[in-house]
Structure 1
Amino acid sequence: MDTMPDGDATIDYGARIVTMIERRSVVGLVNAIHAFYRIGALEPILTASPNAVAQWVAEGAQKPVVNGPTLDALRVPARKVTVTVPYSVEFLRLTHARVDLAVNADMTHALRVAEDSAFCDAAPGDAARPASIFYEHVITGTGDPQTDFAALIARIPEEYLADVVLLLNAADCVALLTAGLADNQTLSVASGGLVAGLPAVVSGGVPRGAIGWCVPRLIALVDEGSRITSSDEATLEMTDGTLVSLWESDLAALRGERWIAWAPLANNVAGMMTGVLASNLAPTKRAKA
């Protein structure tokens, strides 16, 4: 990266950030297995209550008609997640591939962590972020992995099983292996795999000890991409409240913005059970020296 990205360079830089996020984010990992229902921001989509029933009818016999479904128009606005990081101007102007990789990794990690957390944390939405797909669809397990996993699967409508993707915390893979729900030939901490024959993805956004599931084709996804902008003249208010003048400090700030949102198209298309797996059966974090 010869200079700070601006103009067309910011578009290209933003596209690279999107690509990196899609490869590692929980949304991208799930979508690679079963695609979400992609729509444009605020594009109206029609949802209907699932009470239509088909029946066999003899030739000439009266054709039964059920009560009409309740139709609703759903519009999903794009929500923005952003990160602003100041770097020294000298650092950004270094002509070295490692500088580019470092900035990419820094921005991508921050945006991906925020996106994964919002998708998986079971929290309600607000003016800034969408609700988690698991909001109001969380139950508590007994701590017996075999029993809890069977109970979790039993809650999934049978017609959805072929389209289900499981979501796990990567650190819980050891507990899954210990419980006999997977083996090291089919489940990887790095890339997920299969759990009891169902595809699974791993993400740090999933609460420890929990197992989630979703049916992507019944979840609307708005993804309007990302943008990277830069400035070396602004004054930034840091998270600790201090003000920093970029020009006076010989700094430049890169701001990454990503527009993404999701919304279930039906009531029972995602769920999560907490307390399924023992959180102590996992690699421990290395203590700081």
Structure 2
Amino acid sequence: DLWRACQTKDEPIRDWVKLAVTRSRLSGDPAVFWLDENRAHDANLITKVTDYLKDHATTGLDIQILTPEAATKLSVDRIREGKNTISVTGNVLRDYLTDLFPILELGTSAKMLSIVPLIAGGGLFETGAGGSAPKHVQQLVKEDYLRWDSLGEFLALASSFEHLAQTTGNARAQVLADTLDRATGTFLDNDRSPGRRLGTIDNRGSHFYLGLYWAQELAAQSDDAELASQFGALAQTLADNEDTIVSELLAVQGNAADLGGYFQPDPAKAAAIMRPSATLNAAVDSL
């Protein structure tokens, strides 16, 4: 058996409580600490949480401490009502929940964004693999089709830009975040995720459409004239050559793909596999 022990330090607990209060205040949603007073570890945490909550303005906020069973029932009941609930947990349980609920709701973890703020001000922006990553690679090697769904990565990238904008005041990063968010909405409206079978777009096709929609949003926005000018021509080129690019991306499917290695692919060979459209490559390289 594998057994893992954890050390829970005071500084992270203080930051954890601060984060819970901040998220509840910003969203207006209730925050629930998943802690069981009958567990020695949790009992100590409850003492600290109760004490550190006094350091924050919690008037008007709904902050509760419930056992995992009670917290699960409350969260699921609220989900049925279309309401959000902030789960305040440790990292191991957080990892479980960010897989469980997306799979229940969406059938995959690849369409889920998980944001983990760090004590020093940074952040981790994560997404699931949407299944078994080795199976994805095996199919790519066998028939040059990569069904990996990058939607969560697109969401994570937008959130990363937004975090950068908020922490540094970088206005251009906010423009990139806003336009990517709208582009991802168009991506979803048009169902540009991999079709999961030969003859439909795969991960490479998804990236083309995300690039097309993002370039169009950047060209159309008026908050940054330089960005609009830079991406206007690219947006037009991608739109004009959509059929050609998709045809070039589909044409390579069905044949074995040589990556030059499984755990350590050859960079040149991998690049050739992942960039099979000469038209798309020329458009991107012209930026």
TM-score class normalised by the smaller sequence: under 0.3
Structure having the higher helix fraction is 2
Structure having the higher strand fraction is 1
Greater relative contact order structure (CA < 8 Å, 6+ sep): 1
